[in-house]
Structure formats: structure tokens, C-alpha cells
Amino acid sequence: MARQSLNSIGPGVSITRRGPRWTVRFILPEDTCTRYALPREPRLISERLKDEPTRQQLEREANRIGAKLDMLIEGEGGPGKDQSLAAWLDLLDTPRRQAVRWKRSTGGLLWHNLVTSYTEEFQSQSLARENNQRMTLARLQAIADAFPNRRPDDITPRDWDAWLDTRTCGPITVNKYRSIVSRVYKHGLRKYVVESNPILRVAVRRRLRTVVRPTYRTLSMLKRELDRRSHTEAEVKELMRWRVLDEEEQRELVELAMERRHLGMLVPVLLGLHGVSGIDIRQMRNGAYDPRTGIVSGQRSKTGSATFNVPVAPALKPHVDRHFMTVKAGELAFPQFHLREDGRPTADPKDNFLRAWKRVVKGRELEGLRFHALRHSYISTLLAKGVRAEQVAKFVGHLDIRTTIDLYGHFLPDESVKLVASLKLFEGVG
């Protein structure tokens, strides 16, 4: 790669070319570098020199910046020597300069300070949906508590490996912790307050292979799968995660929610059984439901661009009508999930929502069922009843019909036997 230097341009200034890039380099006195915690040769890549310049242009640029440097160091026309030099250094490398000076004056920062700095940046820039942001903030708190009184550069890969082993969660979640720690270190590297990212030397956790195929199934389908061959306890647990409710179980759940309507979960359960997810229910406002048409509509929080438009079953419409008649225009449809027991707002409405859901199914066969399984149950029931996949996708807010078919296609009625019979193949043979 071509390299040339024009050291004759001004005292203490050189301009270097490496390939297409030109660098203006200032050779500062050693005492100045020591005093202001600077590298020996600070540099400034001039945007005006991106295209190959003539020698006269280089001389003019070097003289202009060199003259400004001389003026600022000498303090001529400025508020003072220290302030003038600091103002000039802002042109060079502000984050690095500030970090070096700060580290020298304070002796460095502690791990929990770095995590706090990243958390503030994450909260100001995050567009994550409620569930993901809540989990990330909780994991950041756990990470901050891991080594609160140690400096980031003093924490070794072995320390992080041992800490990840203490996590009582699966390998996928452990890898998420590892990823967040890496993001914190990268944040520190951008701020020039850490020197390396040791978590990169920690091995990624591998998930044990399982023969369980992630497929939504009703309880009867799961029992057939379990009878087909023996499964380990972990495989049975994984199978049950994909359970959906059949029509009879959905009716039983509606009756149970009516029986325990004092928990405030009747209408949320009814909406869940119409394919509305928990986060969309918690964020729902009065205008989301039209009592004239019986349609619940809104924008899906998961994607941010998809919309759902679900007609409520006529048998359940009166219950939804009565509830939304009590909600004032523009207000939250279910404010109870956004308040603590003392009436103050809560930062975690999902926790209140899931706590109420667990109380609804407590002591019944459905205990342990995830609320989101109601959405999967609705989609699978519609497909099994012969509703077209594109219509179901429009109801529940799938952006791509392939999502509906790939995840729930096995619930579509099998018309293959009728189709082959209608073709009347090989008639008259024999």
C-alpha cells in the first residue's frame, strides 16, 4: 500500500497518506502529552482531504491546523491555556481523551458503573417490545450484581465462565446472558474505558440435541406421540410446552373464567381465545373494540407493522360488550394490570397479568398452561374447522401466510382421500 510523508510542512506537523486516506499528525511535546494524558502523536483525519490533494492544498491545510494548534497551546485569544488546549483536543478524539483523563484521575471505574452506563443507553435507544425489554433489564441487573466491586478489565474469562455456570437456566438463556455481557464490554470499548472484551473467550453453551420436534399439538395428539415411543423427562416437558387446547378444553376454560370472574380475567381470557396476545391485551384501549361489528382490532406489538382484526364469537360478544361499555374513551381497557396493590403505577404490567392468569387455572387440569397457548389454540381450531389460511393470517396479524401454514398446517383438514377418489383413476380395470 502506497505511503508518503510530507514532514517538511510546518514544525511538529506531518501529513501521511496510506492508500486513499490522508492523516494530519501533530507531534506534541512530551511534557504536554504527560500533562493532558494524550498519546504521543494525536491525529486528525481531515474530511477535506478525502480526495487526493495537491501539495499546495496539503500545505494550506497543514498550516491552517498547525497555526490553530500553536495559538491554542499558547493561549492567544482564548480563555486560558488549559481551556484552549482542551477546546483544540475536542477536534481530535474527544471520547478517548476524556476517557484517558478520567481513568487517570479516578483510577478507573467499577463493573456496575459500566453496566449502569450501558443500561441508560439501552433504555434511551431501545425499541424492544415490553416483554423483551423487561427481561433484558432484569438480566442487566443480574450482570451488574455479578462483580459489583471489580474493575471490568480485572474480570477474567474464567470468572465469567464460572458465573455463567451458576445460572439456573437453559443454554439458550445462558448464551443470552453472554451476549448482553459482550454488549456491555463493547459499550465500554466505544467509550475507551475498557481495554478488551474477555467474554469473547468464553465458550458458547451448546444445547443438547433432542428428538422432540417443536410442533403445536392438542393433548390427545401429545398422548399419541408419547404412546408411540418412550421419552425422557426433558422431552416430555418440551412436548408439553407446545400444547394447545381443543374445542372442549376451550369451553371449559371459558366456564372457569366466568366462575372466577372476580379475578378480572374473564374478558382477557375471551380475547386470548380469539388469538389476541397478552401484550396486545395489556396495551389495549377503548377504541380497539367496535361493539357494532364485534371486531377487535389493533397493531401487533411483536412486529410493530402487522395488524389483527378478530371477530368475536356471537356467544361471547355480550361479555365483551359489557366490559368495554365501562371503559372511557381513550383509556386502557384493563388498567388493573398497570397498578400495584397500593394503587400506584407499576413498571411491570406483565407480572400482574400472568399472576392473575395463574390464579384462574390454579388447581385445575390446565394449571401450568401458558396464556399465549390460547392464541395458538384459536389459530389451530380455525384451521381445523376449514377456515382458509389467508383469512386466519388476517385475523391474528401474521404478516406472511407461510407463518400460518408452517406452524399450524398439520391442523388443516386432510382432503387427500376425497381428492384421489374424485379423480376416478383406473376405473374399469380388472
Q: Are residues 254 and 376 in the same domain?
A: yes
Q: Are residues 389 and 271 in the same domain?
A: yes
Residue 194, domain CATH: 1.10.150.130
Q: Are residues 94 and 72 in the same domain?
A: yes
Better pLDDT: 372 or 105:
372
pLDDT at 267: 95
Greatest mean pLDDT among 185-189, 293-297, 421-425 lies in: 293-297
pLDDT at 8: 38
Q: pLDDT tens across 101-136, in order?
A: 555 554 567 898 889 889 988 888 765 555 577 788
| Residue 141 lies in domain | 111-201
Q: CA 144 to CA 160: how far, in whole Å?
A: 12
Provide mean pLDDT across the span 205-222.
Answer: 74
Domain count for the chain, please give it. 3
Q: Are residues 71 and 124 in the same domain?
A: no
Residue 380, domain CATH: 1.10.443.10
Torsion-angle region of 77 (φ positive above 0: left; ψ -120 to 50: alpha; else: beta): left
Q: Which of 123-132, 166-175, 317-326, 361-370 has the lowest mean pLDDT?
A: 123-132
Could you tell me if 218 and 379 are in contact, meaning their C-beta atoms sit under 8 angstroms apart? no
Greatest mean pLDDT among 46-55, 96-105, 170-179 lies in: 170-179
The cell for 142 is 443480574
Strand order in the sheet with 43-44: 3-5, 13-18, 21-26, 43-44
